[in-house]
């Protein structure tokens, strides 16, 4: 009986929260070789011709910073070849130093290497390259 009441109450809380526009915190993503990581800073969007084609995020976890790029399905559906690069950039003003740079071809997403940069200002930088185009985006700087 108690489990049925608890289940009903839990569903009511979830529905009530959704009706108020409340959401639970986003679930952490998993960086390669690290496990769950937490997003820090804003999400940036890679655009081409005014259309979003990818997103860039920065994460922290395992005492490291990580950068991540996701190539959106609409772009992947209309292109057969591309390269996606991602890195953690250090410094609060240009020129930035790129750390953990990783590039990969024809994949939906890409993680940088983990960087030992939690004690300095960083942001994630990502780009998608194809046919002479290389749109780039970067997240907000986190210090």
pLDDT in tens, 21-41: 433 334 458 999 999 999 999
The CATH code of the domain that includes 104 is: 2.60.40
DSSP calls for 111-133: EPPPBS-TTS-EEEEEEEEBTTB
Residue 94 located in a structural domain: yes
Q: Which among 109, 88, 98, 84 has a CA at the least distance from the CA of 30?
A: 109
Residues 6+ away with beta carbon under 8 Å from 11: none
User: How many structural domains is the chain composed of?
Assistant: 1
Could you list the residue range(s) of the whole structural domain that residue 115 is in?
A: 27-138
Q: Which among 102, 101, 124, 134 has a CA at the least distance from the CA of 44?
A: 124
Residue 35 located in a structural domain: yes
pLDDT in tens, 83-132: 999 999 998 888 999 999 999 999 999 999 999 999 999 999 999 999 99
How many angstroms separate the CA atoms of 25 and 22, rounded?
10
pLDDT in tens, 71-97: 999 999 999 999 999 999 998 888 999
Average pLDDT over all residues of the chain: 85
Give the helix/strand (H/E) hosting 2: helix 2-19
Residue 19 located in a structural domain: no
Residue 75 located in a structural domain: yes
Write down the pTM of the prediction.
0.80
């Amino acid at each position: 009986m108690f489990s049925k009441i608890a289940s009903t109450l839990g569903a009511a809380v979830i529905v009530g929260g959704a009706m108020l526009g409340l959401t639970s915190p986003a679930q952490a993503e998993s960086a390669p070789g690290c496990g769950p990581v937490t997003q820090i800073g804003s999400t940036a969007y890679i655009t081409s011709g005014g259309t979003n084609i990818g997103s860039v995020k920065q994460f922290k976890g395992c005492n490291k910073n990580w950068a991540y790029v996701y190539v959106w399905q609409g772009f992947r559906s209309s292109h057969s070849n591309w390269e996606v690069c991602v890195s953690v950039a250090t410094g609060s003003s240009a020129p930035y130093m790129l750390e953990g740079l990783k590039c990969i071809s024809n994949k939906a997403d890409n993680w940088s290497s983990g960087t030992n940069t939690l004690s300095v200002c960083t942001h994630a930088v990502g780009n998608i390259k194809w046919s002479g185009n290389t749109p780039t985006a970067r997240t907000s700087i986190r210090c």
